[in-house]
Amino acid sequence: MRIGFLLGAMCWLINNILVGSIGGALLEATLITVNVTTIIRLLRDNRLAVELKEKAVEL
């Protein structure tokens, strides 16, 4: 879902750049940055959860 949102935001960013909308381009750049940050955090948290689960099984 987030990857689809990221692709859509990239399309809107390109559109805003092509039509010369500075505010729209800044908005989409901000949304892309927040979305990428969230994706990275989710992946990191998922890896941590898997590691903790493996350690719990070992005990």
- Per-residue pLDDT at 6 exceeds 90: yes
Please give the structure tokens belonging to residue 42: 């989710």
Domain holding 6, by residue range, is 2-58
Q: What is the pLDDT of residues 22-45, one digit of tens each?
A: 999 999 999 999 999 999 999 999
By CB atoms closer than 10 A (0-12, 13-18, 19+), residue 3 is exposed
Count of domains forming the chain = 1
Q: What is the pLDDT of residue 56?
A: 86
- Measured CA to CA in angstroms, residue 37 lies from 6, 53, 57 at distances of 11, 24, 30
Determine the straight-line distance between the first and last CA of the chain, rounded to whole angstroms: 35
Please state, in angstroms and rounded to a whole number, the distance separating the CA atoms of residues 50 and 30. 30
